[in-house]
Amino acid sequence: MLAVNDHSTDDSVAIVTARARVDRRIRLLHNPRHGLVAALNHGLNVAQAELIARMDADDLMHPERLALQFEHLRCHDEITVLGTRVELISETPITAGLKEYLRWQNQCVSSEQISDDIYLETPFAHPSVTFRRRAIHSAGGYRDGAFPEDYELWLRLHRLGERMVKLPRVLLQWRDWPRRTSRVDPRCSRDAFDRLRAEYMASDPRLNSGERDLAIWGAGRKTRRRVDPLLEHGFRPNVWVDIDPRKIGNRIDGVPVVAPQWLQREPKPFVLCYVATHGARELIEYELHRYGYRKGKDYLQVG
C-alpha cells in the first residue's frame, strides 16, 4: 500500500509510519510538489503493480472491495476502470441534490450507461475505482487545470474508447463534509464542469457527423448560459426546444424556439438535453423515447 502524504499538518505521517513498522506492505511517500493531482501522479509513478485501487484517507471501504475488484479485472481484460456503488456517511444533513446524484450514480453501472451519461455528471466516486496503471499512464495520467481532475480523466478515457464499468454493490462509504473539495474548490464549480464537458463534447463524433441537425432542449436563460461554452467551440443549434408557451415561437440569436413535438421528424436531429431540474430529465427521456429517440445514439443528457 502506498500512502501519499500531501504536506499534511496533522498526525497522519506519524500514524502511517507506526503502521509501516509492523506491516512492511505499507510504504509512505511524500508528495514532491503540492496538491491532489501531483500526489496522485506521484503515487502512479512509484507504483509497480498493474492494478491501482484509489482510496481517500477519510472514507471506509468494504472488507471485500479489493478482492472483488481484483477478481473482476482479472477475468475481464477489456475493462480499464472498475468502480463500485457507494453510500454516503455524513455528520450533517445530506442535501436533496446530493441524494439525487448518488441515486443516479449508483444506477449508472454498465459500460453503456456510463458512456451514454458521461456528460451528465462524473460517473464514479473517485475513491471507489480500481484501474489498470499502464492504461492510465498511456492516457497521460491525471491532468492539472481549472477542472475536476477525476472527471477529466473519465472523459479522456471515454474519448479514447476505454471500457469503464461498475460493480453493482456498495463497497465504499464515501464521506461528505462541508469542506470537501467538491464543495469548495473552484475547479469543481458549475462553470468548471460546463467548460470541461464542452471541451470533450466538441470532439465527440456523435455531435460532429455533419449529417444531422442539432437541437438543444432548454431555452431558459440559466440553461443558455450553460450552453455557452459549447457554442464557443463553434456549435450552433438549428432549434431550441422548450415546453414553456411563453418561449415557443421566439428566436434566440435568430434560432427558433420550438415545442417538443417539432422533434417528431425524419431524419431525426441530434438532441442535447440541458435541463437540470429534478424530475424533468426523466420526463424528457420519456417523451424522446415516445418519438423513437435512442439515448446515446439520438440524444444525450448534459449536466
**pLDDT, mean of residues 69-87:** 98
- H or E segment to which residue 221 belongs: helix 221-231
| pLDDT: which is higher, 32 or 177 | 32
Dist CA 296 CA 142 (whole Å): 26
Examine the pLDDT at 289 and tell me if it is beyond 90: yes
User: What pLDDT, on the 0 to 100 scale, is given for residue 210?
Assistant: 84
| Grid coordinates given for 53 | 485501487
Examine the pLDDT at 4 and tell me if it is beyond 80: yes
pLDDT digits (tens, 9 = 90+) for 261-282: 999 999 999 999 999 887 899 9
Examine the pLDDT at 154 and tell me if it is beyond 80: yes
Examine the pLDDT at 123 and tell me if it is beyond 90: yes
Examine the pLDDT at 177 and tell me if it is beyond 90: no
User: What pLDDT, on the 0 to 100 scale, is given for residue 278?
Assistant: 76
User: What pLDDT, on the 0 to 100 scale, is given for residue 126?
Assistant: 97
CB within 8 A of 167, min separation 6: which ones? 68, 69, 72, 82, 83, 84, 85, 109
Average confidence score pLDDT of the chain: 95
Dist CA 57 CA 93 (whole Å): 22
Examine the pLDDT at 183 and tell me if it is beyond 80: no
User: What pLDDT, on the 0 to 100 scale, is given for residue 302?
Assistant: 97
pLDDT band (50, 70, 90) for residue 161: very high
User: What pLDDT, on the 0 to 100 scale, is given for residue 66?
Assistant: 98
The reported pTM is: 0.95
User: What pLDDT, on the 0 to 100 scale, is given for residue 244?
Assistant: 96
Examine the pLDDT at 290 and tell me if it is beyond 90: yes
C-alpha pair distances (Å), 243 with each of 213, 240, 262, 267, 277: 20, 10, 11, 22, 13
User: What pLDDT, on the 0 to 100 scale, is given for residue 50?
Assistant: 97
Domains (ranges, CATH) in the chain? 49-188 (3.90.550.10), 198-301 (3.40.50.720)
pLDDT band (50, 70, 90) for residue 300: very high
CB within 8 A of 157, min separation 6: which ones? 80, 81, 135, 139, 164
Dist CA 73 CA 53 (whole Å): 12
**pLDDT, mean of residues 190-207:** 96
Examine the pLDDT at 240 and tell me if it is beyond 90: yes
User: What pLDDT, on the 0 to 100 scale, is given for residue 144?
Assistant: 97
Examine the pLDDT at 253 and tell me if it is beyond 80: yes
- The secondary structure of residue 95, as a DSSP letter, is P
φ, ψ at 4 (rounded to 5°)? -95, 115
**pLDDT, mean of residues 140-158:** 98
Examine the pLDDT at 209 and tell me if it is beyond 90: no
User: What pLDDT, on the 0 to 100 scale, is given for residue 208?
Assistant: 87
User: What pLDDT, on the 0 to 100 scale, is given for residue 85?
Assistant: 98
User: What pLDDT, on the 0 to 100 scale, is given for residue 277?
Assistant: 83
